[in-house]
A and B are shown apart, each in its own frame.
Chain A
Amino acid sequence: MAAKDELGRRGEAIAAEWLQARGLVVLARNWRCSEGELDIVATDGNSVVVFCEVKTRSGDRFGTPFDAVTQGKRRKLRRLGVLWLTSNPVRGFPSLRFDVIGVLCRPGSEPTIEHRVEAF
Chain B
Amino acid sequence: MTLARTWAVALNGLAGQLVAVEADLAAGLPGTTVIGMGDAAVTQARDRIRAAVLNSGHKWPDRRITLALSPAALPKRGAGYDIALAIAVLAAAGVVPSVAPGQTVLIGELGLDGQVRPVRGVLPALLAARSAGRERAIVPLANLAEAALATGMAVWGVASLGELVASFKGEIDALITGFPALSVGVQPIADLADVLGQPEARLALEFAAAGGHHLAMIGPPGAGKTMLATRLPGVLPMLNDEQALEVTAVHSVAGTLDDDTPLVTRPPFVDPHHSASLAAVVGGGSAHIRPGSVSLAHRGVLFLDEAHETKYTHRVSLGIRRGLARQRFEENNIRPRCVEICRYEKGSGRTGADALAGLLSRSTSRRAKSIADDQQWRPPPQLLARRGTKCHRPSAVLRPRFKLGTLVGPVSSHGGMMAV
Q: Is the CB of B30 within 8 A of A120?
A: no
Q: Is the CB of B28 within 8 A of A118?
A: yes
Q: Is the CB of B27 within 8 A of A117?
A: yes
Asked if A64 is at the interface of the complex by the 8 Å CB criterion, the answer is yes
Asked if A33 is at the interface of the complex by the 8 Å CB criterion, the answer is no
**C-alpha gap A100/B62 in the complex (Å):** 13
The residue in B28, B29, B30 that gathers the most chain A C-beta atoms within 10 A of its C-beta is B29
Given contacts A64-B62, A66-B62, contact A100 B29 (CB under 8 A): yes
**C-alpha gap A119/B29 in the complex (Å):** 5
**C-alpha gap A100/B28 in the complex (Å):** 9
**C-alpha gap A67/B62 in the complex (Å):** 8
Given contacts A64-B62, A66-B62, contact A120 B29 (CB under 8 A): yes
**C-alpha gap A110/B62 in the complex (Å):** 22
Contact residues of A between 60 and 92, Cβ < 8 Å to B: 64, 66-67, 69, 74
Chain A residues with Cβ below 8 Å from B30 are 64, 66-67
Asked if A10 is at the interface of the complex by the 8 Å CB criterion, the answer is no
Chain A residues with Cβ below 8 Å from B28 are 116, 118-120
Closest to B28 in A: A119
Q: Is the interface of A mostly helix, strand, loop or mixed?
A: loop
Q: Is the interface of B mostly helix, strand, loop or mixed?
A: loop
**C-alpha gap A69/B30 in the complex (Å):** 9
Chain A residues with Cβ below 8 Å from B27 are 116-118
Interface string of B1-35 (1 = CB under 8 A from A): 00000000000000000000000000111100000
Interface string of A90-120 (1 = CB under 8 A from B): 0000000000100000000000000011111
Contact residues of B between 60 and 79, Cβ < 8 Å to A: 62
**C-alpha gap A64/B30 in the complex (Å):** 9
Q: How many residues of B contact A (CB 8 A)?
A: 5
Chain B residues with Cβ below 8 Å from A119 are 28-29
**C-alpha gap A116/B30 in the complex (Å):** 10
**C-alpha gap A67/B60 in the complex (Å):** 12
Interface string of B226-259 (1 = CB under 8 A from A): 0000000000000000000000000000000000
**C-alpha gap A117/B62 in the complex (Å):** 15
Q: For the complex formed, measure the closest distance between the CB of B185 and the CB atoms of chain A, giving whole angstroms.
A: 53
Q: For the complex formed, measure the closest distance between the CB of A8 and the CB atoms of chain B, giving whole angstroms.
A: 19
**C-alpha gap A104/B28 in the complex (Å):** 17
**C-alpha gap A64/B29 in the complex (Å):** 10
Chain B residues with Cβ below 8 Å from A116 are 27-29
**C-alpha gap A47/B370 in the complex (Å):** 94
**C-alpha gap A69/B29 in the complex (Å):** 8
**C-alpha gap A118/B29 in the complex (Å):** 9
Chain B residues with Cβ below 8 Å from A100 are 29
**C-alpha gap A33/B62 in the complex (Å):** 32
**C-alpha gap A120/B29 in the complex (Å):** 7
Q: For the complex formed, measure the closest distance between the CB of B420 and the CB atoms of chain A, giving whole angstroms.
A: 74
Closest to B62 in A: A64
**C-alpha gap A117/B28 in the complex (Å):** 7
Q: For the complex formed, measure the closest distance between the CB of B24 and the CB atoms of chain A, giving whole angstroms.
A: 16
Chain B residues with Cβ below 8 Å from A120 are 28-29
Chain B residues with Cβ below 8 Å from A117 are 27
Chain B residues with Cβ below 8 Å from A66 are 29-30, 62
Q: For the complex formed, measure the closest distance between the CB of B55 and the CB atoms of chain A, giving whole angstroms.
A: 16
**C-alpha gap A119/B49 in the complex (Å):** 24
**C-alpha gap A2/B30 in the complex (Å):** 28
Q: For the complex formed, measure the closest distance between the CB of B54 and the CB atoms of chain A, giving whole angstroms.
A: 12
Q: For the complex formed, measure the closest distance between the CB of A91 and the CB atoms of chain B, giving whole angstroms.
A: 29
Chain B residues with Cβ below 8 Å from A69 are 29
**C-alpha gap A28/B113 in the complex (Å):** 47
Contact residues of B between 256 and 300, Cβ < 8 Å to A: none
Q: B residues bordering A, Cβ < 8 Å? A: 27-30, 62
Q: A66-B30, A120-B29 are in contact. List 5 more A-B contacts (CB 8 A).
A: A66-B62, A67-B30, A100-B29, A116-B27, A116-B28
Can you list 9 A-B pairs, Cβ within 8 angstroms, ordered by A? A64-B30, A66-B29, A66-B30, A67-B30, A69-B29, A100-B29, A116-B27, A120-B28, A120-B29
